[in-house]
């Protein structure tokens, strides 16, 4: 395990061993069953290439009218609870008493990507966002606090955990591409990214 610091992001390389990665996937199975993946519609009618769902009190949601946290899955059912195995990572790395209210699960299939963006739909930016990578490698791009400028890229591998907090809480970031089938964690390939967020 090594800690890389890139533009204020703490990148814990190899934070989760294979046994914990497998346990996380097991714990996420019932979440995906209760709250199936969907592809949000962006403004202008474009579909995101990433499919997503959430666990926790709130789930992140996007449609033609904008981005927001919603208290129910598009099916109308409440989001399932955030698994203990996921909460442990948050507690250990942040040391905070406050728990995340949303665990956004992003699934990147072959060819999926996520454009540079800020995470800014939360009420209080003093809380970090903790991001867990599982499955295929993803090329993570880190920009600046405002749009544009030079960027730096880092490959995130299965088991890496990134803490985006402090000065870097509003830094632009995105995923340019994944190396499809580079990992055998997910039988059908792809990358799962979990982001833990305090919302209110």
119 contributes a contact to Mn ion by CB under 5 A: yes
Q: Is 188 helix (H, G, I), strand (E, B) or coil?
A: coil
| Binders of ligand SIN in range 160-189 (CB under 6 A) | 173, 175
193 contributes a contact to ligand SIN by CB under 6 A: yes
Contact partner, 183, from ligand SIN, Mn ion, none, Cβ < 5-8 Å per class: none
Over the window 75 to 94, marking each residue x when it contacts ligand SIN by CB under 6 A and - when it does not, the resulting string is --------------------
Q: Is 49 helix (H, G, I), strand (E, B) or coil?
A: coil
The H or E element containing residue 5 is strand 2-6
Which stretch, 25-33, 37-45, 57-65, 115-123, contacts Mn ion (CB under 5 A)?
115-123
Cα gap 5→20, rounded to integer Å: 23
Q: CB nearer to Mn ion: give 10 or 119.
A: 119
114 contributes a contact to ligand SIN by CB under 6 A: yes
Smallest separation, CB 27 to ligand SIN (Å): 19
Tokens of 37: 């993946």
195 contributes a contact to ligand SIN by CB under 6 A: yes
Cα gap 1→95, rounded to integer Å: 19
| Burial (Cβ within 10 Å: 0-12, 13-18, ≥19) of residue 171 | buried
Number of shown-chain residues binding ligand SIN (CB under 6 A): 10
What is the maximum span of the chain, computed from C-alpha positions, in angstroms?
A: 42
Which residues partner with 165 through β-bridges?
A: none
Smallest separation, CB 105 to ligand SIN (Å): 10
Contact with ligand SIN (CB under 6 A) among 53, 54, 94, 106: 106
For the beta sheet containing 191-197, the strands, ordered from the edge strand earlier in sequence to the opposite edge, are 2-6, 9-13, 161-164, 129-135, 191-197, 102-108, 51-56
What residues line the site for Mn ion (CB under 5 A)? 119
- Residues that bind ligand SIN in the complex, under the rule CB under 6 A: 106, 114, 131, 138, 140, 156, 173, 175, 193, 195
């Amino acid at each position: 395990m090594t800690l890389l610091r890139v533009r204020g992001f703490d990148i814990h390389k190899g934070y989760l061993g294979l046994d914990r990665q497998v346990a996380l996937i097991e714990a996420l199975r019932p979440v995906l069953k209760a709250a199936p993946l969907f592809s949000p519609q962006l403004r202008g009618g474009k579909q995101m290439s990433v499919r997503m769902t959430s666990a926790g009190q709130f789930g992140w949601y996007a449609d033609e009218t904008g981005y927001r946290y919603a208290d129910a899955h598009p099916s109308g059912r409440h989001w399932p609870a955030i698994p203990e195995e996921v909460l442990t990572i948050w507690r250990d790395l942040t040391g905070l008493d406050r728990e995340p209210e949303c665990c956004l699960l992003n699934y990147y299939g072959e060819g999926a990507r996520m454009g540079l963006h800020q995470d800014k739909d939360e009420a209080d930016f003093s809380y970090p966002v903790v991001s867990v990578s599982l499955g295929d490698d993803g090329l993570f791009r880190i920009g600046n606090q405002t749009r544009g400028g030079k960027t730096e890229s880092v490959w995130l591998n299965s088991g890496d955990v990134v803490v985006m907090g402090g000065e870097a809480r509003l830094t632009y970031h995105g995923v340019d591409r994944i190396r499809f089938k580079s990992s055998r964690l997910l039988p059908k390939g792809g990358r799962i990214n979990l982001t833990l967020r305090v919302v209110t």
